[in-house]
Amino acid sequence: MQTFQYSKADSVEKALASASAGKFIAGGTTLVDLMKLDVEQPKALVDINPLPLTKIEALPNGGLRIGALVRNSDLAWNDDVKRSYAVLSQAILSGASPQLRNMATTGGNLLQRTRCAYFREPGAGTPGGYSCNKRTPGTGCAAMDGHNRTHAVLGVSEHCIATHPSDMCVAMAALEAVIHVEGPKGKRTVQFADFHRLPGDTPHIENALEPGELVTHVDLPKLPEGAKSVYLKLRDRASYEFALASAAVVAKVEGGHVRFVRVAMGGVGTKPWRAHEAEAALTGKAVDAANFRHAAEAALAGAKPRTENAFKVELAKRCLVRTLKLATA
Amino acid sequence: MADSPSFRFRRLRSKSPEQTKDELAPDQHTLDLEPLTPGKPEQDGNGRGFSRRSFLSGLGAAGLVATAAPLAAAAPAVAPAADGPAEGASGTTLVLRVNGKDYTLRGLDPRATLLDTLRERIHLTGTKKGCDHGQCGACTVHVNGRRVNSCLSFAAMHEGDEITTIEGLGQPGNLHAMQAAFVEHDGYQCGYCTSGQIMSAVALLKEPIGPTDEDVKHAMAGNICRCGAYANIVAAVKQVRSQA
């Protein structure tokens, strides 16, 4: 691990003032892991744990405001979240381990990085190391024709097929969360769909944050009255394992028809995958297995599998069908 | 005087009663707060002393080798401490509160994880390093009462926190109920994951975990056991939960 200057900030102003030096650290569950692998080599760390961004509060419009430093476990256990945004609680609890969930924060989870083994390999993207366009643009992608069982089938480019690993983000994508950011140029908001970037030909740029910007909180809009939400995660182990395919569904059913639906998928996309095609195929339709299957086909129609991850296409479809059944039951 | 057997082995004699730290396990009586340096004469003031670990670490040191020739020939010279550059020259000074005691750590490398600091500087070696990447749970400790992976946090981030390790949970003759339950239910084989399992299990008593076996297993999912003692671990946890 490369050494760094360590400092603590006890206010957002102080954090932003020190930001140009290096990176913010909160839970550290992604950052320390990657620093040990020399994937991340910040010259300075600004410890933002003391910042007063730890609340979950009801918004006047009926939504919920989540501070960036709310720990994943606290967010999942929150009564308002469990009642009104069950998919978010389920998604968080399906991820990582209890210890990691106690450390990880809302803001940090948004920024977690891919588990691609080539990306994580010390020396990737350097001469003699594995090719990795995300580490060093232009060096190639070792996963394309290498071991890519856990890699993405949606949102891929010829430069990168790395899967986005977060469960929380899939739920937040379906909930259409709004991310509040503060930086040297002031405050702004980013719609969830715009926060994470497709790899395209710039896989090293993963999100919409400008240098020095800090996520301060995430707002969840109020859902339609009577909407139900569910998260289903499929993976090799029953726990402590990333998704091979997952689905977050928010649905409101009236008279046996889908009145409102939001669908997002995990384990299959290079970013948390909002499945617009599935939503279009479901809205107004009768709640039945055939319509669910049509929607799943639409969601995965653009899938581009590689040598080892073609199974994900069918797995993701069945995952979505099962989740739709659970959400409309 | 320097050559006499009594001088060579005086460090191996147990400390006087006033110096014995009752709260620590028998082999944790040293509070070596400075990095170990081979060949340096014993320094007083910090209660710097002699332990199994420091003996093995310093086996290559000239002073010890000269007096324990047969042993030195048999054992490999072990470099003392750290996976990083030598500490002590630069670095920060930090106070960590562990198991109710304050430890002043000088010359701490900013890269020192909480895990390495607990083990290598404070010599609380009950917490284990399994994967060093937050994937196994062997390093589980409590920070302000919540279980965390100490391998994924820097020591510098924990000034002001209340840290509890397995040593602070219970001691021989004064076991925590969870430790006793693990013994009763044979919840371990090699014992390497056990401190982490117990720390996790104790912490979950204060978490909103459901009542079923599946709930317990999910709540213990962050602690891996290569020996496969899982069924007995679950039994131990359930026993303590039912007593709470």
Which chain B residue has the Cα nearest residue A104? B148
Please report the pLDDT score of residue B59 as a whole number: 64
Q: Assess B158–A contact: CB distance below 8 Å, yes or no.
A: no
Q: What is the mean pLDDT of residues A145-174?
A: 98
Q: Is A23 helix (H, G, I), strand (E, B) or coil?
A: strand
- Gap between the Cα atoms of A207 and A199, Å rounded: 10
Q: Are residues B102 and B136 in the same domain?
A: yes
pLDDT at site B171? 87
Rounded CA gap, A75 and A66, in Å? 8
pLDDT digits (tens, 9 = 90+) for B130-160: 999 999 999 999 999 999 999 999 999 999 9
Measured between CB atoms, which of B149, B203, B220 is closest to A103?
B149
Domain holding B222, by residue range, is 177-243
Within A13-81, strands assigned E span: 23-25, 44-47, 56-58, 64-67
pLDDT value for A19: 84
Contact B134 A100 (CB under 8 A): yes
Same domain, yes or no: B102 and B162: yes
B22 and B61 both lie in a single domain: yes
Q: CB distance A5–B110 less than 8 Å?
A: yes
Domains identified in chain B, total number: 3
- B83 at A interface, C-beta within 8 A: no
pLDDT at B1: 45
Percentage of chain A exceeding pLDDT 90? 99
Could you tell me if B201 lies within 8 Å of chain A, comparing CB atoms? no
- Tell me, yes or no, if A41 comes closer than 8 A to chain B by beta carbon: no
**B165-194 residues touching A, CB cutoff 8 A:** none
Structure tokens given for B126: 């009950």
| Stretches in chain B below the pLDDT threshold 50 | 1-6, 9-48, 60-89
- Nearest CA to B165 out of B104, B99, B230, B227 is that of B99
Question: Last residue of some domain: B74, B102, B134?
Answer: B74
B188 in the same domain as B163: no
Is the pLDDT at A168 greater than 80? The verdict is yes
B159 plus B215 within the same structural domain: no
Nearest to A303 by CA among A156, A153, A155, A157: A153
Q: Is the domain of B165 the same as that of B97?
A: yes
Chain-chain contact of A32 with B113 (C-beta, under 8 angstroms): yes
Q: Is residue B63 part of a domain?
A: yes
Whether residue B149 and residue A96 make contact (CB cut-off 8 A), yes or no, is: no
A103 closest CB neighbour out of B148, B208, B223: B148
Model pLDDT, residue B90 = 61
The shortest CB-CB distance from A32 to any of B146, B154, B200 is to: B154
**Topology, domain A228-328:** Enolase-like; domain 1 (3.30.390)
Q: Among B169, B195, B224, where does a domain finish? A: B169
The per-residue pLDDT for B87 is 43
Sign of CA dihedral A304, A306, A309, A310: positive
Where does B29-96 have alpha helices with state H? 52-57, 62-67, 69-74
Residue A74, pLDDT score: 98
Whether A23 and chain B come into contact, CB under 8 Å, resolves to no
Task: State yes or no: pLDDT of A139 exceeds 50.
Answer: yes
Chain A touched by B219 (CB under 8 Å): yes
Rounded to whole angstroms, how far apart are CA atoms A144 and A138?
14
The answer to whether residue B80 sits within a structural domain is no
Residue that is written with structure tokens 């993976």 in the block: A235
Task: Indicate whether B137 belongs to any domain.
Answer: yes
B145 shares a domain with B190: no
Whether B215 is covered by a domain: the verdict is: yes
B109 touches chain A (CB under 8 A): yes
Residue of B110, B204, B218 lying closest to A4 (CB–CB): B110
Residue-wise pLDDT for A271-324, tens only, equals 999 999 999 999 999 999 999 999 999 999 999 999 999 999 999 999 999 999
CATH number for position B103: 3.10.20.30
- Cβ contact, residue pair A49, B157, below 8 Å: yes
**Per the domain annotation, does B117 fall within a domain?**
yes
Q: Are A285 and A258 in contact (CB under 8 A)?
A: yes
A97 at interface of B, judged by CB pairs closer than 8 A: yes
Nearest residue, CB atoms, A98 vs list B111, B222, B224: B222
**What is the pLDDT at residue B92?**
84
**CB within 8 A of B187, min separation 6: which ones?**
B181, B194, B197, B229, B232, B233, B235, B236
Give the per-residue pLDDT at B62. Answer: 45
Domain boundaries, chain A: 5-45, 228-328
- Summarize pLDDT for A82-101 with one digit per residue, the tens: 999 999 999 999 999 999 99
Distance of CA B164 to the CA centre of its chain: 11
> H or E stretch including B60?
none
Asked if B39 is an interface residue toward chain A (Cβ–Cβ < 8 A), one would say no
The ipTM is 0.96
Any domain includes B61: yes
pTM for the predicted model, two decimal places:
0.87
> Is residue B44 one of the residues assigned to a domain?
yes
The confidence score (pLDDT) of residue B49 equals 60
By Cβ distance, the residue of A33, A96, A99 closest to B200 is A99
Cβ-defined contact of B146 to A102 (cutoff 8 Å): yes
B165 and B193 belong to one structural domain: no
